[in-house]
Amino acid sequence: MTAGAPRPKVGAVVLTMNDRPEEFPRAMASLLAQQGVDLDVVVVGNGCCPAQVPAGVRTIELPENVGIPEGRNVGAAAVTDDRDYLFFFDNDAVLPAADALARLATEFDDDARLAYVQPRIIDPNSGVTQRRWVPRLKASDPTRPGTVTVMAEGVVLIRRSAFQAVGGWPGHFFLFHEGIDLAWRLWDRGYTGRYLPAVTVHHPATNPARHVTFYRLNARNRVWLARRNLPRVLIPFNLATWLALTLWRFRDRAALRASLSGLREGLRGGHGTRAPMSWRTVVQLTRCGRPPVV
């Protein structure tokens, strides 16, 4: 951001279930300490009345847990109308540098096609960036920047006009794969994404399988993702790839049964409006290193 330029206007959305009494205050403190941006923060209580919220921060209380993507949609809709960017921030993450948001926002200045920017996520205890946090297939070097076709949705800055143009997060997914769905729809509208590992965020390396419904929802949403977004001829290839990897990886019978249950659930329907991406988008995603069958 050049001297004298207007500060980026960012709306930040944080979800809470009041179950992280130590992590949430740290996350909020690091967010509110950001410099060089005009910040509007909304905390959404997903099935609760938000607690430990700093003074001056707006809150929304949802009577029931509507899931992460829909909770974020609710928060995004409540951000003031003058915000140019939306920052989705996990409530157990920490921005270690006060200029992190400003540096991310600067990336949008010279590229009207750029829809989202993701920083590098690092476990603060081990210093490791987990493979699932690197938005590319070749994740051995998490310090390599570049164009990416998916995102780690827990810590990402998105151009608000692009987010609204594609209808936001797929709220009915509840949990898992909503970032891929959103990224694919953004790419199909002519937008791109960028990974900026020079900007870092601290986030504990939790295991997604800690959620009791992980295997079922993970499988169901993989089916929904394909059925919503892919040309029909690619859907069986996408699902066959996922099924082969699942059978190869899982040795736990209970996990495998839950995954197959989710697969059947996804095939029965519920994926929502189908809007298959163009073949041009398929080619672009493939050229950028991630064909939409993987």
Q: What is the pLDDT of residues 262-276, one digit of tens each?
A: 999 999 999 999 999
pLDDT at residue 3, as a whole number = 58
pLDDT at residue 105, as a whole number = 98
Q: What is the pLDDT of residues 235-264, one digit of tens each?
A: 999 999 988 888 787 677 888 889 999 999
The answer, yes or no, to whether residue 210 has pLDDT greater than 90, is: no
pLDDT at residue 2, as a whole number = 57
**The CATH number of the domain covering residues in 9-206:** 3.90.550.10
Strand partners, 44: 15, 60
What is residue 233's DSSP assignment?
Answer: G
* Residues 166-183 as b or e (16 or more Cβ within 10 Å = b): bebbbbebbbbbbbbbbb
Contact partners, residue 59, CB within 8 Å, separation at least 6: 42, 43, 44, 45, 49, 50, 53
Tokens standing for residue 138: 């070749």
CA dihedral for 25, 38, 197, 134, sign (positive or negative): positive
Q: Output the average pLDDT for the chain.
A: 95
- What whole-number distance in Å separates Cα of residue 249 and Cα of residue 234? 23
Q: What is the pLDDT of residues 119-140, one digit of tens each?
A: 999 999 999 999 999 999 888 9
Please tell me the pTM assigned to this model: 0.95
Distances (CA, A) of 258 to 18, 179, 223: 28, 22, 14
The answer, yes or no, to whether residue 71 has pLDDT greater than 60, is: yes
- What whole-number distance in Å separates Cα of residue 282 and Cα of residue 237? 13
Any idea where the domains of the chain sit in the sequence? 9-206, 209-287
Q: What is the CA radius of gyration of the chain?
A: 19
